[in-house]
A = this chain, B = another copy of it.
Amino acid sequence: MATTELTATISDAEWRVMRIVWTLKQTDSRTIIDLLEQQHDWKAPTIKTLIGRLVKKGALATQKQGRQFIYTPQISEQAAMDAALMNELNQMCAMHRGTALVHTIDQLELSRADVQELITHLQAKLATAPEEVDCDCLPDGCEGSCAN
C-alpha cells in the first residue's frame, strides 16, 4: 500500500500553513485562516485549499472535534527544514556550495548559540575536510575546464 510518502514536497504557499501548525503544535482551521489572512492577502478559501492539500499529502493529520478538525503536523519542522536545505544545496555545483554558504550566513541573523555551534561543528570538520571539492556539473567531472 502507498505509505503516504512522508517525503511529499511542500510548496511555498503550503509551507506558510505548516509553519503556523508547527508553531502552534495543533490547531483548527479557523485559527490558521485568521493568522494567515493577517500575513498575506489570501482569502479564506485559498487557505482552505492549502490545508486540504497538506492533509492529502500526509503533512497534516486531522482529528475530528465536533463539527471541525484539529490539525497536527505529521512531519517534523526541523526535519523538513533540513531536507529542504540539503535539497537546495545538492542541486548546486558542489564546488561552489561552500561560498554560497559563506555569503548566506553573512546575511543571516543567527543567535550567539547557533553561531557557536556552527563553529564547533566546522572545527570538527576541519580534520577530515578534503583539500578540494570538485565541480560536479558535468557528467565526468569538469577538472581542467572548470577554472573558477
A125 x B100 contact (CB < 8 A): no
A137 shortest CB reach to chain B, Å: 4
Partner pick for A35 among B35, B114, B139, CB 8 A cutoff: B139
A42 shortest CB reach to chain B, Å: 13
On chain A, the number of residues with a Cβ less than 8 Å from chain B's Cβ atoms is 64
Partner pick for A112 among B86, B93, B103, B129, CB 8 A cutoff: B129
B129 x A115 contact (CB < 8 A): yes
- Give Cα A137 to B15, complex, Å: 10
Known: A24-B145, A91-B12, A109-B130. A85 touches B100 (CB 8 A): yes
**Closest CB pairs A-B (n = 3):** A98-B114, A19-B137, A81-B100
